[in-house]
Structure 1
Amino acid sequence: MSVDTAAIRRIAKLARIHVEEEALPGLAAEFNGILQWIEQLQQVDTSGVEPMAGGGATALRWRADEVTDGAQAERVLANAPEREGEYFSVPKVVE
């Protein structure tokens, strides 16, 4: 696969970015380099290699859906500039 300056111009338009006309050939060369790397990676034989994460029989561990206060009120409020009991104290903003 090869990308020419017309394709770069269209990609820039779709991305809504301004690309100077003299920068188009350089961007086309960079895109083509990236595509060559992708083609090279596609040639690697990965049969027999198990995925490291995110594939196959990997499942998320479920936990109980319980509402808690986090049990860290003191740690959270330790940085509060002002507090009243277990609450942040803030100035009144509605008259």
Structure 2
Amino acid sequence: MGSNRRYGDSISRQKDNARAEARALQPSSLPIELVTAAGGPVTPAASPQPVHAYVEVGVTLIRVAGHAIAWNTRCVQVRWAGTNPEPQEAWVWASAVTRTN
């Protein structure tokens, strides 16, 4: 008996779509080369500072409540609890971040 190619293609397509969706849900981060070129040396936070930040995820901007864990004069590294078990991080422009003290 032969294999049913129609359903095999469907399963393959579903796996490809799931991988594409997972990539689309990853936050976009400024490259570290740009961070240091734009704002100079990075200062790690002695203690994380609570912030709200706008982060690009896929083609959407979302506002996250998180902590600033490092920064320089132009950029901030933000960590927040995402939908994954692991916290998420991204470098964003400082103008996209507001302290929440």
| TM-score, shorter chain, exceeding 0.5 | no
Larger Rg: 1
Per the normalisation by structure 2, the TM-score is 0.27
Question: Higher strand proportion, which one?
Answer: 2
Q: Relative CO higher for 1 or 2, CA cutoff 8 Å, sep ≥ 6?
A: 2
